[in-house]
Amino acid sequence: KYPHIAPWELCYATEENIQVMIEKRIEAGNLDPYFGARSCYHNTTFWKKYLETTFAKHSISKTHLKLALSIVAQKSPADWDWAVDFTFKNFDSMWQS
């Protein structure tokens, strides 16, 4: 019903837009809005590489990604917790400021 949220969508998103995008995916039963396969969440190397390449390639700012992750954390089931927590803890080391 709804495709995954593409990384470049976040480049132009406002807080309200991100909220709506994520809510639509959750309503449609797609609980993996834009981070890929849930089975990869606990693979630290994969997760870091995914964030570095996909998000950095599309010039998504730290602010946008942190906002999106915080909304996901509020809206989605418990198995998002590890991914969100890992990302916040490792954010600055993943991006060259």
Q: Tell me phi and psi for residue 59, to 5 degrees.
A: 55, 40
pLDDT, one tens digit per residue, over 33-84 is: 444 434 444 445 555 565 666 666 656 666 666 666 666 556 554 545 555 5
The closest of 9, 20, 24 to 64, measured between CA atoms, is 9
pLDDT, one tens digit per residue, over 86-96 is: 666 665 555 54
Q: What ranges do the domains of the chain cover?
A: 7-94
* pTM over cut 0.95: no
